[in-house]
């Protein structure tokens, strides 16, 4: 009986969305998580570069969120590094505000600080079916070449088109005793 139910659900998914059926049950790999991390870092650098060039960095930030985050597909738990008054950014507009400044007074535009590189050092990556979690440090290279170390945890889900989306983003500065 259970196999008939599974077959019926799979057939329904195939009718509703061929892409969803194609990717249903495809486990997320470590390589996919690492590729998503690279895309995230490259996106932050692109936002900074666009700002430095005097171009439309807010649109570039929206494209970054549209491409990598799960806001259009479900919930996102976002706790950005430099947020204390409004610690959590559960909406798309709040995330844009954090990256490029705007709706919150504490938002100075994290992604427009002139970053020239972002590199990840993973402490570990856990993959389980269509969910993954990664934790470690990432390092932001500033315009003067100095690195800023930030601790992070990212969660990923696979969307209906098979693309990884960030659904958890927590980052903080390291504790200094």
Q: Is the pLDDT of residue 13 over 90?
A: no
User: What is the mean predicted confidence (pLDDT) over 137-145?
Assistant: 95
Residue 2 CB coordination number (10 Å): 6
Binned at pLDDT 50, 70 and 90, residue 3 comes out as very low
Q: How high is the pLDDT of residue 5?
A: 35
Q: How high is the pLDDT of residue 33?
A: 97
| Largest pairwise CA distance in the chain | 64
Q: How high is the pLDDT of residue 8?
A: 35
Tens digit of each residue's pLDDT (9 = 90 or more) over 109-125: 789 899 999 999 999 99
Mean pLDDT of the chain: 84
Q: How high is the pLDDT of residue 137?
A: 96
Q: How high is the pLDDT of residue 12?
A: 31
Considering the entire predicted model, what is its pTM?
0.82
Tens digit of each residue's pLDDT (9 = 90 or more) over 37-87: 999 999 999 999 999 999 999 999 999 999 999 999 889 998 888 776 777
User: What is the mean predicted confidence (pLDDT) over 78-106?
Assistant: 81
Residue 15 or residue 62, greater confidence: 62
Q: How high is the pLDDT of residue 25?
A: 65
Please, what is the Cα angle at 37 between 36 and 40, to 5 degrees?
Answer: 85
CB contact burial 56-92 (16+ within 10 A = b; e otherwise): ebbebbbebbeebbbbeeeebebebbebeeeeebeeb
Task: List the beta bridge partners of residue 131.
Answer: 128, 157
Distance from C-alpha of 40 to C-alpha of 46, rounded to nearest angstrom: 10
Domain 27-172 in this protein, CATH class: alpha beta
Residue 177 or residue 86, greater confidence: 177
Domain residue spans of the chain = 27-172
Distance from C-alpha of 49 to C-alpha of 62, rounded to nearest angstrom: 15
Residue 142 or residue 175, greater confidence: 142
């Amino acid at each position: 009986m259970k196999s008939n139910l599974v077959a019926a659900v799979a057939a329904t998914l195939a009718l509703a969305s061929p892409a969803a059926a194609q990717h249903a049950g495809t486990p997320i790999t470590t390589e996919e998580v690492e590729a998503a991390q690279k895309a995230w870092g490259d996106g932050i650098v692109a936002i900074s570069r666009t700002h430095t060039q005097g171009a439309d960095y807010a649109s570039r930030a929206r494209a970054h969120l549209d491409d990598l985050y799960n806001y259009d597909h479900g919930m996102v738990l976002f706790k950005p590094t430099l947020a204390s008054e409004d610690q959590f950014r559960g909406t798309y507009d709040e995330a844009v505000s954090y990256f490029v400044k705007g709706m919150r007074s504490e938002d100075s535009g994290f992604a427009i600080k002139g970053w020239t590189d972002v590199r990840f050092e993973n402490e570990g990556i856990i993959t389980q079916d269509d969910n993954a979690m990664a934790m470690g440090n990432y390092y932001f290279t500033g315009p003067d070449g100095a690195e800023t170390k930030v601790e992070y945890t990212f969660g990923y889900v696979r969307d209906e088109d098979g693309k990884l989306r960030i659904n958890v983003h927590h980052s903080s500065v390291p504790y200094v005793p």
